[in-house]
Structure 1
Amino acid sequence: MFKKPCANLKTSAPLRGSDRRKLKQRVISEFNVSNEVGDLLMPEGIQSQKFSTHLNEPGLLYLSSEGDPLWFTLGKGSDALIPTVYTLWKEPNLLPLLTTPAAVVPKLVGGADLMIPGVVQSSAEFSQDQLVAVAQYHRGAVLGYPVAVGHAALSSIALKQADEQDAKGKAVHILHAWKDSLWDMGPSKKLDVPDPRPIVTLEANAHAEADADAIPTVHVAPGVESTDVQLNSEPVETSREEGPSQHAGESQQNQVSTASLPPEEVSSYLRDALLQAISTTIASQSPSLFPISASSFWSNYVLPARPAQISGSNGDVVDTSIVDIKHSTHKSVKTFLKACAKEGLLKLKESKGDVVVTGVFPQNPAVVAHKPYRTLQSVEIKKEKAEQRERQAKEAEEKKKGEIHVVELLKPFGDTIAWFVSAEKDTQDLYTLADVRQILNSYIEAKQLINAHDQQYVNVVEDDALLRAISIKGQDMPDFMKRDDVIKKIQRNMQSWYEIKTEGNEPVRKKGEMVPISVVQKMRQGRKAVTLITGFEPFGLDAEELAEELRKLCSSSTTVSPLQGKSSGLEVMVQGKQMKVIMTYLISKGVPKKWIQGADMLDAKKK
Structure 2
Amino acid sequence: MFKKPLHTLKTSAPLRSSDRRKLKQRVIDAFTLDPELGDALVPEGILTIKFNTHLDEPGVAYLSPEASADPLWFSLGKGSEELIPSVYTLWKRPDLLPFLSTPPAVIPILVGGADLMIPGVVHHPSDLKEGQLVAVCQYTHRSKNGATLSVPLAVGRMAVAGDRIQDGEKGKAVFVLHVWKDFLWDMGGKPQDMPEQRPLAALVDQPESEAAEGDEEIPVDKLTITAQPAYTPAEISTLLQASLLQALSTKIPASAFPLSASVFYETYILLFRPAFPHSVLPPGAGTENSSDIGPGNPQNITIKSSAHKSLTAFLKAMDKAGLLTSKTAPKQNELLVTAVVDERHPSVAAHRGFVTLGEVEARAAKKAVNEEKKREKEEEGGRRVEVRELCKASGRTIGWVEGVGGSPKTLYEPTELRTLLNAYITDKGLVNPREQAYVNVGLDPLLLGAVVTPPKKGVPQKEVEFMKRDEVMKGLLDGMQAWYEVRVGGREVVLKKGALKPIRVEVKMRQGRKACTLVSGFEAFGEGVVDAEEMSEELRKICAGATSVSPRVGGPTGTVEVLVQGKQAKVVVDYLTEKRGVPKKWVEVVDLVGGKK
Calculate the TM-score normalised by the size of structure 1. 0.42
Bigger Rg, which one: 2
Calculate the TM-score normalised by the size of structure 2. 0.42
